[in-house]
């Protein structure tokens, strides 16, 4: 028998109807032993997330004011309990919550109650044990997550427990106060539980059927990615594609546990599997995803015989460090070196940096190209497939898009091109259609 840890996001647990879907999913597979819930999310576009209501409620009560958010929170949970027909009352919990908010128990404590209360309801509905995350997830004095203590104590706790619900998003500080992860942090709890349970799979249930090959706001109906490696995911997330909390990757990646993104509203859809690696003999994928971001600047320094000058690169990077600038890429030629920097990092510092670069590196020329968008084509299959770069460049040329920069990561996992901001959407649409027509995706 294998073990699956299932995490359900806020929209999957926003109402009694959604809870019923979740219960069907969990109870249809006995491997789904441990469940990590988020707080109730939005039921419709203008709805409030319970976590946001809790922050509001805390701010109101802790200032000694009345709180309308408090009534809304109680109603959200009571509707779920009634809709499920449960013999459960959270009245005592609500009173305690109110008193501790008035007593200023802390904003993290306040926010954590969303998951805590949802966990109690879900455990009751599933007939699973409830484990308070404060008893199994620990932070250090400096506020960072204590992964080893958590793993030891949580593993031990789960060993004696057939099925459990462990609320997401929070844990305990050494002084017994509650601390939360950053927003969206129930994903992290799910990954921590998966590691501690030695799970075979970490299922992350949400309201989309996985990652898409390209951004659906730009490309009409892009296909879903069926399998992606952790490294590819890192590349695509860096470029702005987001479904999972970035910190949720580490605990499971290190333990070699795959993450399976699934849709609570379409449970039969295959979803996206995130794995450490694939079998190259069986894997025919060339391109996994296309993503990009706008608003970069490229600083280019040119100097005759740069390739023979020792220390040029070091001096250039020292200038960036002195001005507290991080850079994204560093494409270089024989006599040129460029630095790609995010516009918001550069703004306000540009003149000082150029003066410093002239002083420290004595380039023959220095230029700044602004309004650059970066587009990354990511794919583990590129390494072994000829013609991927050609397909990318052909598609852009055919669409009359000028490529201003090219950077291929040395792992051959990606090719990044820089185009004018105004060509960004067109470049992604064109590339996607060209790859699709040529069966590369």
Binding site for ligand ASP (CB under 6 A): 10, 38-39, 49, 51, 114, 168-169, 183-187
Burial class (CB in 10 A: 0-12, 13-18, 19+), 93: middle
CA angle centred on 324, ends 321 and 329, rounded to 5°? 65
Closer Cβ to ligand ASP, 110 or 428, answer by number: 110
Cα 409 to Cα 337: distance, rounded to the nearest angstrom:
16
Q: Find the residue with minimal CB distance to ligand ASP.
A: 186
Q: Residue 270 Cβ, how far from ligand ASP at the closest point, in Å?
A: 24
Closer Cβ to ligand ASP, 186 or 288, answer by number: 186
Q: Residue 185 Cβ, how far from ligand ASP at the closest point, in Å?
A: 5
Q: Residue 256 Cβ, how far from ligand ASP at the closest point, in Å?
A: 24
Q: Residue 343 Cβ, how far from ligand ASP at the closest point, in Å?
A: 28
Q: Judge contact between 299 and 350, C-beta under 8 A.
A: no
Closer Cβ to ligand ASP, 6 or 388, answer by number: 6
CA angle centred on 78, ends 74 and 79, rounded to 5°? 120
Q: Residue 184 Cβ, how far from ligand ASP at the closest point, in Å?
A: 4
Closer Cβ to ligand ASP, 186 or 285, answer by number: 186
Q: Residue 57 Cβ, how far from ligand ASP at the closest point, in Å?
A: 14
Q: Judge contact between 406 and 178, C-beta under 8 A.
A: no
Closer Cβ to ligand ASP, 119 or 363, answer by number: 119
Closest to 300 in 3D by CA, of 418, 184, 146, 410: 418
Q: Which two tokens stand for residue 423?
A: 């060509």
Cβ-proximal residues to 268 (8 Å cutoff; 6+ apart), any chain: none
Question: Torsion-angle region of residue 331: left (phi > 0), alpha (psi -120 to 50) or beta?
Answer: beta
202 DSSP β-pair partners: 5, 259
Closer Cβ to ligand ASP, 36 or 382, answer by number: 36
């Amino acid at each position: 028998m294998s073990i699956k840890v299932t995490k359900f996001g806020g929209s999957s647990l926003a109402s009694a109807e959604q809870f019923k879907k979740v219960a069907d999913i969990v109870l249809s597979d006995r491997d789904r032993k441990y469940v990590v819930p988020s707080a109730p999310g939005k039921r419709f576009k203008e709805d409030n997330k319970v976590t946001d209501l809790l922050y509001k409620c805390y701010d109101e009560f802790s200032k000694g004011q009345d709180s309308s958010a408090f009534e809304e929170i109680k109603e959200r949970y009571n509707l779920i309990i009634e809709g499920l027909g449960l013999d459960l009352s959270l009245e005592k919990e609500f009173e305690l919550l109110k008193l501790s908010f008035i007593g200023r128990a802390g904003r993290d404590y306040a926010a954590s109650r969303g998951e805590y209360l949802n966990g109690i309801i879900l455990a009751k509905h599933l007939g699973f044990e409830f484990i308070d995350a404060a008893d199994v997830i620990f932070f250090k004095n400096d506020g960072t997550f204590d992964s080893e203590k958590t793993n030891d104590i949580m593993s031990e706790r789960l060993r004696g427990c057939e099925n459990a619900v462990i609320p997401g998003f929070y844990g305990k500080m050494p002084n017994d106060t509650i601390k939360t992860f950053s927003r969206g942090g129930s994903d992290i709890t799910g990954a921590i539980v998966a590691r501690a349970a030695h799970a075979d799979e970490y299922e992350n249930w949400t309201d989309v059927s996985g990652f898409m090959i390209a951004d659906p706001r730009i490309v009409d109906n892009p296909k879903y990615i069926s399998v992606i490696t952790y490294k590819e995911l890192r590349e695509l997330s860096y470029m702005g594609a987001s479904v999972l909390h970035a910190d949720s990757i580490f605990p499971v990646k290190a333990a070699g546990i795959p993450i399976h993104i699934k849709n609570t509203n379409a449970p039969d859809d295959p979803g996206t599997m995130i794995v450490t690696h694939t079998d190259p003999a069986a894997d025919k994928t060339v391109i996994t995803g296309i993503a990009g971001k706008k608003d970069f600047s490229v600083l280019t320094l040119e100097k005759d015989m740069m390739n023979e000058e020792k220390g040029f690169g070091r001096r250039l990077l020292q200038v960036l460090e002195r001005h507290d600038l991080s850079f994204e890429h560093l494409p270089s030629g024989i006599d040129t070196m460029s630095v790609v920097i995010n516009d918001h990092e550069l703004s306000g510092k540009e003149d000082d940096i150029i003066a410093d670069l002239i002083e420290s590196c004595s380039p023959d020329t220095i230029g700044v190209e602004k309004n650059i968008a970066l587009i990354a084509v990511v794919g583990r299959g590129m390494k072994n497939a000829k013609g991927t770069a050609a397909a990318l460049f052909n598609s852009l040329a055919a669409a009359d898009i000028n490529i201003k920069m090219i950077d291929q990561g040395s792992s051959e996992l990606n090719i990044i091109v820089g185009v004018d901001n105004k060509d960004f959407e067109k470049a992604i649409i064109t590339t996607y259609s060209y790859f699709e027509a040529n069966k590369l995706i």
